[in-house]
Amino acid sequence: MERFANSARSDRYGSRINRDRSPWRAVSVPYITIMLASMLPFLVMADVMPVLPPLGYLMFLGWRIMRPGLLPIWVGVPLGAFDDLFSGQPFGSAILLWSLTMIVIELIESRFPWRGFIQDWFTASLGVVAYILVAMTVSGSSLTPAMIVTAVPQMALAILLYPIFAKVISRIDRFRLARARRIG
Partner 1 sequence: MAPPSSRRSGFSKKAQYSVFTGYLLATLGALIGLVLLAFSLWQPAAFAPLRGAAQDAVSPVGEATATVRSGSGGVFDTIAAYWNAGSQNAALREEVEIARIRLAEAEAVVAENERLKSLLALAEGEVQPVATTRLIGSSATSSRRFAYLGVGRVDGVEVGMPVRSARGVVGRVLEVARSSSRVLLLTDTESVLPVRRASDDTVAFAEGRGDGFLRVRLINLGLNPLKEGDVLVTSGAGGYYRPGVAVAILTELTPDGGIARLMANPSATDFVSVEPIYEAVAVNASQVPVEQRIDTGTTAEAGGN
| Residues engaged in binding partner 1 (CB under 8 A) | 39, 41-56, 66, 68-69, 72-74, 76-77, 80, 84-100, 102-103, 106, 109-110, 113-115, 135-136, 138-144, 146-147, 149-151, 154
Closest distance between partner 1 and the C-beta of residue 56, in Å?
Answer: 8
Closest distance between partner 1 and the C-beta of residue 7, in Å?
Answer: 26
Listing DSSP states for 123-153 in one string gives: HHHHHHHHHHHHHHHTTSSPP-HHHHHHHHH
User: Based on CB atoms, which residue is closest to partner 1, 81 or 180?
Assistant: 81
- Taking residue 73's Cβ as centre, other Cβ atoms within 10 Å add up to 12
User: Based on CB atoms, which residue is closest to partner 1, 17 or 90?
Assistant: 90
User: Based on CB atoms, which residue is closest to partner 1, 19 or 115?
Assistant: 115
What secondary structure letter does DSSP report for 61?
A: H
Closest distance between partner 1 and the C-beta of residue 10, in Å?
Answer: 24
Compute the half-sphere exposure of residue 56: CA atoms within 13 Å on the CB side of its CA: 25
**CA 62-131-135 angle, 5° bins:** 135
Closest distance between partner 1 and the C-beta of residue 168, in Å?
Answer: 17
User: Based on CB atoms, which residue is closest to partner 1, 3 or 111?
Assistant: 111
User: Based on CB atoms, which residue is closest to partner 1, 43 or 183?
Assistant: 43
Helices (H), the chain: 23-39, 55-66, 76-87, 93-111, 117-137, 145-176
Closest distance between partner 1 and the C-beta of residue 73, in Å?
Answer: 4
Cβ atoms of 96 and 80 within 8 Å: the answer is yes
